Amino acid sequence: MPFTAEEVGNISNALLDHYMKGRAESQSIQDKPMLKAMKAKQKTFPGGKEYIRGNVKGDYTTAFMGYEHDDTVTYANPANIKQWSYPWKELHAGISLTLTELKKAGISVSDSLNGEKTVEHSDRELVEITNLMEDKLDDMSEGIDRSLNDMFWRDGTQSAKVFAGVQAFVTLNPAVGLTGGIDRATNRWWRNRARVGSLSAESGRSTIESITGSKITASTSLQTLTKTLRSEARQLRRFGGRPNLVLCGSAFLDALEGEIHEKGTYTQTGFINNGKNDIGMAQISMRGVGDFEYDPTLDDLGYSKFCYMLDTRFLHPMVMDGEDMKAHAPARPPEKYVLYRAVTHTAGLVAKKLNCHGVYEIA
């Protein structure tokens, strides 16, 4: 029996609501630890604002001075507050379902808008239309996850209409450029840590020398990589940072694992390295540093030799109130026999502190 347009719309709306609000995030395609971490730390900001803004302070003026008797003393007038601002962006993902597709599945749709032609339908018809919608929604859900994960990693130069990701804040050359409108060159406290060197030509990126040191040459005998990472972890904590997300490419993890293997032993209860390290299937834990987790996206982007150490308290998404994965069901246009469903997301990534993040590269 034919469905009405209202019935098809109600089915698609119910499925869309389920997928966007109740669906368990799929990890069977490719792990996305960056996406998972960013979603967990997401915060909101009110609408009606052109930018997401906040204040920071890294310089201090007032200080003690010595005096005796009637010495002239001075008074400071501190004015060191600076404001960062990041633009929010509007994102859209949508799918369509044509009446022709439904006909090919043996489903007829009456284009009644008042529901007068509503009739009972067989289980086969209901299952068939549900299967068609689920296939499309599966594609949209994974597509949203992939594209959002990609945005979180990239620097925003791929499109002016998407927000900048981690690589715009945790840069390979921290002493140059503006971040959130604040100049890194003149404000040393507004810089991330970096130990990177000359980048490979095949990666498609220019040669860059970091202000804080060249890339790290791993050594199983000298333990260069593990020692450097422990030293860097201390520096990232120097100004109140607490890195809680350490994501690495496969080559970086291979090098780190090689150094740890060299100084440890396997027992019946697992791998032991003086009680300081533990090696899991795709993750390495190092006391004093944290868990090193493999992120396949780094390999995809040509960063297999890199590691990012981040403090997600100070680097996280901000989503506009009421605009987080908002579902839309546009009316069918009169000139097309097509049903549309969409999701919009209004957000931006913000960095409130930079000296608690680091990027590292192995030779």
The model's pLDDT over 267-296, given as tens digits with 9 standing for 90+, comes to 445 555 555 455 554 568 888 888 999 999
Q: What is the pLDDT of residue 281?
A: 47
Q: What is the pLDDT of residue 226?
A: 93
Mean pLDDT on 234-263: 93
Q: What is the pLDDT of residue 265?
A: 47
Contacts of 71 (CB under 8 A, 6+ apart): none
Higher local confidence (pLDDT), 349 or 136: 349
Chain Cα centroid distance, residue 59: 30
Mean pLDDT on 108-133: 59
Q: What is the pLDDT of residue 19?
A: 61
The tokens for 184 are: 């890194």
Cβ neighbourhood burial of 40 (10 Å; 0-12, 13-18, 19+): exposed
CATH class of 3-56+84-361: alpha beta
Contact 26, 142 (CB under 8 A): yes
Angle of the 33-40 helix axis to the 123-153 helix axis, nearest 10 = 90
Contacts of 247 (CB under 8 A, 6+ apart): 33, 34, 293, 294, 295, 298, 307, 308, 310
Q: What is the DSSP letter of 314?
A: S
Contact 55, 176 (CB under 8 A): no
pLDDT digits (tens, 9 = 90+) for 177-203: 999 999 999 999 999 999 998 544 344
pTM of this prediction exceeds 0.95? no
**Which one of 191-200, 201-210, 256-265, 323-332 scores highest in mean pLDDT?**
323-332
Length of the chain counted residue by residue? 363
Q: Among the listed ranges 17-26, 135-144, 153-162, 266-275, which one has the minimum average pLDDT value?
A: 266-275
Q: What is the C-alpha separation between 198 and 207, in angstroms, rounded?
A: 5
User: Is the confidence at residue 360, as pLDDT, over 70?
Assistant: yes
